[in-house]
Each structure stands twice: as C-alpha cells, then as structure tokens.
Chains A and B, each alone.
Chain A
Amino acid sequence: MDKPAARFAPGRRKGLSKVNYNRYGYYFVAPFIIVFLVFQLYPIIFTFRTSVSDAIGWNKINDSMVIGFENFKMYFDPGSPLFYDFWNSFGNTLLIWIANFVPQILMALVLASWFTDTRMRLKFRGGFKMLIFMPNIITAATIGVLFYSIFNYPIAPANSFLQQVGILHAPFEFFRSTTASRSIISFVQWWMWYGNTMIIMIAGIMGISPELYEAGLVDGCSSRQTFYRITLPLIKPILLFNLVTSMIGGLQMFDIPHLLTEGNPNKTTNTIARFIYQQAFTGSRNFNYASAASVILFIFIVMASLMLFWVMRERDPAVRDLRRAGK
C-alpha cells in the first residue's frame, strides 16, 4: 500500500501517469481458472485417459492401467456385445433429436416472426410468450414422470380421454409401442424447448436494425418479403448458434428418456447418455467402456459442430458487411 505515496513523490512523473494495475486482473480471474482446470478440464482429460484404460469396477478407479485402444474396438467390431447397444442408442438419439428439432425451429421462427411483426401488432404478446416458454423451466425429471403418469396404462388421463371421446375402445399401452414412445419423447422435448428457441429468435429479430425494416417498408415490401429478405438472412448466425447448442444438448438427452420410458420398449428409446450412464453407474461399472463411448460422442459433437459452422457460413459478402455494420 505504499504505491500511492510513491506516485506523488516529486521527480517521479513517470509513476504518476502509469501505475500498473493490470496485474490485479490475474487475481480476479484466478478462481475461475483454477476451478475450471480442476473441475472441468481435468475430468475431460481423465475421461480420455480412462477410455484407454482397464478401469472396470470400483477397485480400478484408483489404479487402472493404460491398455491402448481395446475399449474402442468394442464399438467398431460388429461381433462385440456392446456394438449393437451403442449404435442403436446413437441412432435413437439422432432420430428423437431431429424429430423434435425440425418442428421446434419452424414453430419458433413462425411465432417469432408474428410476435415481432410491427404491422401485425398482436395483443397479449407478453402473456403468450410467458405461457409458451413455461414448460422449459420446470424440472425435466418432474415433466418426465408427469408425462409417464399421463400416458400410463391402463388408467391415466390420456387413455381416459381417448376412451371418453371414442377414439379408443380399449386402453392403449403407449410405452409398449416403439412409435408411440419415441413420439411422446420427441413431443415432450419439442414442447419443452420451442418456447426457449422462440424467445431467442425474438431477441435476435429485435436486434436487427430498425432502419432496415423502415427501408423495406418504404420500398413496399410485403410481410413475407420482409421475413425472407431481411429477417431470415440476418438472424442466420443465431439460427446456427441455436442449431449447434440444440444438437449438443440433444445428443446428451438423458432426463426425459430416463424418467419417461427408461429406454423401453426393447431399448428403442435408449439414448447415448443413458447408455453411458448404464455402463458407468449400473451393473459392473464399466468406466472404461463408458469413457470410450463418451470420447466417441465428444469427437462426433466437435466434428458435427464444425461441419455445421462450415456449411452454414455466410457466403454473401453483402450480408456479411451488413451484419458487421449492425453490430
């Protein structure tokens, strides 16, 4: 604390103008970096390390040996016992994700364009937004069990309703049917997330410079032209960001399938996250197989994200300039 005194000492003008506070920056970011290194980076490294080790069972957590890429062979050799399970859950996850993501982004875009349309001036926008977004903040575990209870067999609201209006003559076992189970999971995921996507889209559209819309109005754009020619090209980065985060989230889907169907019927709704969970945390604790599956998933996510960024990169220099100017 003798620095300020030094600053006012005669003949040391250099010190007056330039005290180096910047080193304090390290103290401010240190907690973040330490916790990140210990609780995020090290577990990632440890996962990679476990994926090439023989860590099966509790005893091996503390002393496992590196055995090379044996564990990965499990997932690339059609004769191995885990081959089918893993790729089956991989396929299920992609299927369920796509089945909820496509309608999700379409619905969100349509709603966002309505809610931000200045010519439409809808009333109760706030109320609609609030209610549509609501399912997203309720615990996924609660929602999973709630929908399990709603679609249960033989007595549950869905079956009662369908019988009361006469669509069904006898109760239907939704969770014995692959199509029904997958559809219900996709629906629940869609129902939970389209509000979230919509809010993000609205924020993105609101961020577009109003001058562009005014120019469009002066030039006589219809609502449709405004949407396709101004809104859509300019929120493309947000769409892309949403696509990537949704994919990362969707590939790790765990809560809803775990609590709604437990992967049934016959593992047709098992997801990769559930597969990893079952390998590592049930039965004989195959930490090494779980880690190898995690590494495959990790690499897949990184590659898919990079590919999406590359495929959807802006090719039109005019739009790129416009976007930069808007920022």
Chain B
Amino acid sequence: MTRTRWLVVSALLLLTLALFFLPVARFPDDALGMLQGDIDKFTRRVADYQATYDRYVSHGDPQDKLDKQQAKIDKAQETLDGYLAQAEALQQDAAGSALSYSLLPGQLPQELQFDQKRINESKIYSPDPQQYHLLVYLAFGLLLGALVLLLLGGGRLVSVLYTLSSILNLAGILVLLYALLRLNAFPILNPYGDAQLTGLQYPLVLLPTLALLVAASGVRNTKRTMIYVLCTALSVMSILPFWLMMVNATRSTYQIQQGMSLLPSTFFMNNLNILTGKNFDILVGFKNSAIIAFGATLLSVYFSSLTAYGLSVYNFRGSKFLYSFILAIIMIPGQVTATGFYMFMYRLNLVNSYIPLIIPAIAAPGTVFFLKQYLSANLQLSLVEASRIDGAGEFLTFNKIVMPLMMPAMATMGIMAVIGSWNNYLTPLMLLSNPTMKTLPMMVKELRGDIYRTEYGSIYVGLTLTALPLLLVYFALSKYIIAGVAVGGVKE
C-alpha cells in the first residue's frame, strides 16, 4: 500500500468515526401531525357549509334559513381559526421540541416509547433497544479496530495488518448498515413520530466503503481476501434458498408467520402429516420419476455408446457425414417441436404412457459426441482386432471388451442423463394426464395451489422432499457431475 493510499484510508475511517457523534436521526413532535387532521376536517366543513349557503341563495330561500346557515359557517370558521393558531404556535417551536439522536454516545432518548399495536399488527420482531445499542457499539469498535490496525501498519509497503484492517472495516460496514436499518424501523408511539434519518446515514456508510475500496485497490493480499469474501458470499447465496426451505419445513405455520429464521424447529413430522393428508403422495411421484429417469438413462447410455463405437471403429459409407450431422442436431431446440411430438404421440395412442418419455432417449446426440471423443482417445483398435481373431462376433466384442473400457465415460454421461430426465418438466406435463402417473416435478406444481395456502410448513416439506434426493446425489457425485458439465461445454 502506498503512503498516499494509507493516508486517504486512515482519514476516511477517522472521519467516519467522527460522524458517529453527529445527529443521525430526528424524532419529530407528532402533535402537529395530529392537528393537521383536524385542520383538514374543518377546512372541508367550512367549504361544505358555504356551498349549501350558496345553493340556498340561488334557490331564493327565506332569510331566516340563510341566517341559520351563516351562523353555522361562522362557528366552524371560528374552530378552524383556533386550530390554525395552535398549529402556528407549534410550528414555531417544532424544531426545538423534536428529539435529535446521534449514534454515540447516547442511548435512544428516554421519552420514546415503542408502539406495541403496530408491532403486533405488522408481525415484525419486537424491537430491542439493548440489542440495537450493542450493534452500534460493535460497529464503532470494528471501524476503530480497522483504523488502529491501519495506523499500526504505519504505511509500510506490505503488511498483514492491512488485510485484517480491511476485514474489520467490511464487518463494521455491515453491522453499521444493519443498525441503521433497525433504527429506521423502530415504530415509535406518539407524541413523537418515527425516526427521520437526517441524511448523515449516507456518508456514514459510503466513507468506510470508499476506504475499503481504496485499500483493496492497492494490495494484492486484499484482492485475494476480497475474492474469498465474494466467493463465500456466492456460495452462501447458492445454499441460502435451500437452507430456508429445509428450515421452514421444520417450522409451524405460526412460527413462519412470526418471521424468517435460520434455525430449524421441531414441527417436521407435523408438516409432513399435513402434506400427506392432502393426497400428496410423494412416493408415487418418486417411483414414476425413477422409472422414467432410469429407463431413459439405461437406453441413452447403452445405445449412445453403441453409436459412438459404430462411428469410431467402422469406416462405412456416410459415417463422416453422420458424425457431422450428430454434431449439428445437438443444437436442435427441443421445446420448439413439442406440439408436433405431442400430436404424433396422440396419433400413435401413446399419450399417458411412459414410452414417449423413455424411448427417445436412445437418440442422444450430446452423449454420442462425448463417448466418441472418449473412444478416440482411449480405445486401441488392436484390442478389437485381437478379439476378432479370437473369434468373437462384433456385438460380443463390444459388450465384453469395449463396454468395460468405456465405463467411466458412461457413468459420467449416465449421471447427467438421470439428472436431465429427472428434472424434465414440460414433456411429462404434455403427455401425462393420469394422476397416478405424475412425475415429481409435476407434483411440485400442486404445492403452488390453493389447498396449501396457509400451510406454509407443508409446502416447504414437499419442496424439500423433491430436492433432497438430488442434493444428496450431488454431494456424493459432484466431482463427476462437474466433470460431465465441463466436457459437455467444450466442443466446437
């Protein structure tokens, strides 16, 4: 880190710490706000009376009726004037009566009380000033720590202290941001209104962020740390929705209504019972999906390796063309042909049958391409020759000699095929209308329906049950799956 950078970062952090002592929020006196309602009401009333009076005049009504109406107008006007005078008086000392609040050193002003009614209505967590003050002190401490470490580093070119300082800085920013949001959300009971942030919140967050960026732009180590932080954040983002899903699967409807939580509860069996009580038979869906996925995969992998072997060992007329053709049809957009596929199956009377979901897997151009690549690299033709000399037929050679060689590649493609078939939604949705034949992704759609409207927990149980097998398979086989994706993408 250069000397100038070091100076800039230190100055920015120092400035941020100073801002902690300036007023960041105001709690305005709400008496004026309440008065405004009365003023509006009486302004409207005067206008109404006046309109009635004008109507009487135009109708030519008798004088005593007009006088009566005039008296009503005068009385209303008098009340209105009284309110207006009150408002003016209040306005003059409103600036003085508002409670101003800075993050440090103070507590929240003693006069403030939380509005219990609004807390109950909007189902937010009960605000806890104690916890809030802890957050403020923590943010201040973290930023102070960042500054101290920076000063200890003393402007030397490279120091581990800078990295630590940046980490503390980042943590400080996050805690401060959370504290400010908390402050903004406190529901305050009259006569004071909710916090109105004065605008100081922007420099409070921007200055340390700027300091962090300046520090990060200078030091290699900090860049590394930032990459780790970003990658960790992305990983958390990948897990979080699934984590929420599993946590909410164990919480009761009441708990879910109370707010978000990252800790599981104990209502899983309860939710599961509600789910199965509504004819959500996950085992049937599981069985159907498994039949289709494994049937399609077996066919896909066996016949693709057959095709790949045919293309790489035999030099028949049209084999070159066929290979180019297979490369070209990898890209055929499948869903575009859905209508024709469905109508053709309807004509063949194959609607509500698993055949159109399993048999087409035999023609899997992507798998053929990958297996052909694998064979070209790993199969020696002398092996095939030797087998022929020993008198084996061509299919026997393939089944007994070549297939075992191809097993690793077939396994990779098999995993991909199972996942692809398992996750397929549109094709089964078109073809299967019989409820007992539904696949798992089709059953998921039911969870979105009205019968689960208030049973939040059971929806999450259903989702968890559909996602869990895949998650388990993924954690067991992620190495092979990632390898399968990698080879799938690298082709020209």
Chain A residues, CB < 8 A from B235: 127-128, 131-132
Check B338 against A166 for contact (C-beta < 8 Å). no
Chain B residues, CB < 8 A from A29: 306-307, 310-311, 319, 322
- The answer to whether residues A145 and B463 also contact, given A195-B238, A276-B339, A294-B337 and a CB cut-off of 8 A, is yes
Nearest B residue to A294 by beta-carbon distance?
A: B336
- The answer to whether residues A145 and B445 also contact, given A132-B234, A166-B182, A281-B430 and a CB cut-off of 8 A, is yes
Check A149 against B456 for contact (C-beta < 8 Å). yes
Question: Once bound together, how far apart are the Cα atoms of A160 and B262, in whole Å?
Answer: 12
Chain A residues, CB < 8 A from B329: 36, 40
Check B239 against A131 for contact (C-beta < 8 Å). yes
CB distance from B476 to the nearest CB of A (A): 12
Q: A237 on the interface (CB 8 Å rule)? A: yes
Stretch of B5-13, B41-49, B136-144, B357-365 that contacts chain A: B357-365
Question: Once bound together, how far apart are the Cα atoms of A137 and B154, in whole Å?
Answer: 49
Q: B267 on the interface (CB 8 Å rule)? A: no
Check A276 against B338 for contact (C-beta < 8 Å). yes
Question: Once bound together, how far apart are the Cα atoms of A28 and B447, in whole Å?
Answer: 45
Q: A130 on the interface (CB 8 Å rule)? A: yes
Chain A residues, CB < 8 A from B314: 21-25, 28
Q: A32 on the interface (CB 8 Å rule)? A: yes
- The answer to whether residues A203 and B234 also contact, given A25-B311, A32-B363, A141-B444 and a CB cut-off of 8 A, is no
Interface centre among A166, A199, A298 (most CB of B within 10 A): A166
CB distance from B348 to the nearest CB of A (A): 9
Interface centre among B178, B362, B445 (most CB of A within 10 A): B362
Check B341 against A145 for contact (C-beta < 8 Å). no
Check B456 against A28 for contact (C-beta < 8 Å). no
Nearest B residue to A252 by beta-carbon distance?
A: B335
Q: A163 on the interface (CB 8 Å rule)? A: yes
Among candidates B185, B241, B423, residue contacting A165 with C-beta atoms closer than 8 Å: B185
A238-259: which residues lie under 8 A (CB-CB) from chain B?
238, 241-242, 244-245, 248, 251-252, 254-255, 258-259
Q: B304 on the interface (CB 8 Å rule)? A: yes
Check B490 against A204 for contact (C-beta < 8 Å). yes
Chain B residues, CB < 8 A from A148: 448
Q: A318 on the interface (CB 8 Å rule)? A: no
Check A21 against B394 for contact (C-beta < 8 Å). yes
Chain A residues, CB < 8 A from B391: 4
Question: Once bound together, how far apart are the Cα atoms of A243 and B342, in whole Å?
Answer: 29
Question: Once bound together, how far apart are the Cα atoms of A276 and B456, in whole Å?
Answer: 32
Check A139 against B423 for contact (C-beta < 8 Å). yes
Check A32 against B463 for contact (C-beta < 8 Å). no
CB distance from A136 to the nearest CB of B (A): 8
- The answer to whether residues A128 and B231 also contact, given A25-B315, A40-B360, A44-B337 and a CB cut-off of 8 A, is yes
Stretch of B55-63, B211-219, B253-261, B403-411 that contacts chain A: B253-261
Q: B164 on the interface (CB 8 Å rule)? A: no
Among candidates A23, A32, A196, A280, residue contacting B307 with C-beta atoms closer than 8 Å: A32
CB distance from A85 to the nearest CB of B (A): 16
Chain A residues, CB < 8 A from B459: 145, 149
Chain B residues, CB < 8 A from A136: 485
Q: B426 on the interface (CB 8 Å rule)? A: yes
Nearest B residue to A25 by beta-carbon distance?
A: B314
Chain B residues, CB < 8 A from A21: 314, 388, 394
Chain B residues, CB < 8 A from A120: 224, 227
Q: B343 on the interface (CB 8 Å rule)? A: yes
How many residues of chain A are within 8 Å of chain B by beta carbon? 106
Check B336 against A200 for contact (C-beta < 8 Å). no
Among candidates B227, B337, B425, residue contacting A40 with C-beta atoms closer than 8 Å: B337
Nearest A residue to B125 by beta-carbon distance?
A: A164
Chain B residues, CB < 8 A from A140: 423, 425, 441
Question: Once bound together, how far apart are the Cα atoms of A132 and B363, in whole Å?
Answer: 31
Q: B184 on the interface (CB 8 Å rule)? A: yes
Question: Once bound together, how far apart are the Cα atoms of A297 and B334, in whole Å?
Answer: 12
B339-379: which residues lie under 8 A (CB-CB) from chain A?
339-344, 346-347, 356, 359-360, 362-363, 368
- The answer to whether residues A131 and B238 also contact, given A61-B346, A145-B447, A149-B456 and a CB cut-off of 8 A, is yes
Nearest A residue to B490 by beta-carbon distance?
A: A203
Q: A89 on the interface (CB 8 Å rule)? A: no
Chain A residues, CB < 8 A from B445: 141, 145, 259
Check A254 against B463 for contact (C-beta < 8 Å). no
Nearest A residue to B257 by beta-carbon distance?
A: A155
Stretch of B32-40, B90-98, B101-109, B466-474 that contacts chain A: B466-474
Question: Once bound together, how far apart are the Cα atoms of A149 and B303, in whole Å?
Answer: 41
Q: A35 on the interface (CB 8 Å rule)? A: yes
Chain A residues, CB < 8 A from B478: 130, 133
Question: Once bound together, how far apart are the Cα atoms of A294 and B14, in whole Å?
Answer: 63
Among candidates B331, B332, B360, B394, residue contacting A24 with C-beta atoms closer than 8 Å: B394
Q: B200 on the interface (CB 8 Å rule)? A: no
Q: A228 on the interface (CB 8 Å rule)? A: no
Chain B residues, CB < 8 A from A111: 231, 234
Check A146 against B256 for contact (C-beta < 8 Å). no
- The answer to whether residues A26 and B425 also contact, given A40-B360, A129-B482 and a CB cut-off of 8 A, is no
Q: B419 on the interface (CB 8 Å rule)? A: yes
Question: Once bound together, how far apart are the Cα atoms of A43 and B326, in whole Å?
Answer: 17
Instruction: Give 6 A-B pairs besides A28-B398, A35-B363, A139-B425 with Cβ atoms closer than 8 angstroms.
Output: A22-B316, A36-B329, A128-B231, A132-B234, A133-B485, A238-B490
Can you list 29 residue pairs at the A/B interface with Cβ under 8 Å? A22-B316, A23-B316, A25-B315, A28-B394, A31-B303, A31-B362, A32-B363, A33-B363, A39-B359, A40-B363, A43-B337, A122-B231, A131-B235, A136-B485, A139-B423, A139-B467, A146-B241, A146-B242, A149-B456, A155-B257, A166-B183, A166-B185, A169-B185, A170-B122, A196-B485, A255-B425, A277-B430, A294-B338, A301-B336
A-B complex: 3 closest residue pairs judged by Cβ atoms: A166-B185, A28-B310, A25-B314
